[in-house]
Amino acid sequence: MRKPGGIFALALLLLLAILGCDRTPPLSPLAPEAVVLAFGDSLTFGTGAPRGQAYPDVLQQLLAHRVVNAGVPGEVSTEGLKRLPTILAEYRPALLILCHGGNDLLRRHDLAGIEANLRAMIELARADGIEVVLLGVPQPGLLVRPPDFYQRIAAEYRLPYDGEILHQLLTDRALKSDTIHPNAEGYRKLAAALHELIENAQGG
């Protein structure tokens, strides 16, 4: 018969294991001179907000680190994958915020292809010692939810991930400039969510 103390210890280990599964994967603290690269399409560029009010601009103020806006409106993930090596070499970021695949989803591109391109982008960053934060981009439709592969990628690569914030923004008319882009207030909320995610991952 198992002793009461042994049962308690086993229960405690099980609880810690469950809690550990919900913890944000860790990020290294950013050095004072570290650069953060926001890479993506129009959601990164800031379409729908005045100049200087895209989420990378707001996040730069919150993080007190340089955040480079490398968003290209209309870009699909195949094009992003081709562009990324040059951008990484130019800015040498410590952290990459990856928000891509929205235009593929709008054009109904093959989901497996989008997933493969995102994985390749993450591999490119990691090969250079760059940590990655992933944003899930909602798929057009009734639910406006990111496809499952975003969560799958985040889990497999142990990436800090937010699959809710863009869903929240794009289902709130007060936070949108059009059907697929936030407005300035929406981008502020996106930046705040990313700031919180990064701070939590750094143990802040």
Encode pLDDT of 125-162 as tens digits. 999 999 999 999 999 877 789 999 999 999 999 999 99
Domains of the chain with CATH codes: 33-201 (3.40.50.1110)
Residues 6+ apart with CB under 8 A from 192: 58, 62
By C-alpha distance, which of 22, 19, 17, 26 is closest to 159?
26
Residue 195's pLDDT band (cuts 50, 70, 90): very high
Residue 19 has pLDDT above 70, yes or no: no
Q: What integer is the mean pLDDT of 68-93?
A: 98
State how far the Cα of 189 lies from the Cα of 27, in Å rounded to an integer.
21
pTM, two decimal places: 0.88
Q: Any alpha helices (H) in the chain, and if so which ranges? A: 4-22, 42-45, 55-63, 77-91, 102-106, 111-127, 148-157, 165-170, 184-201
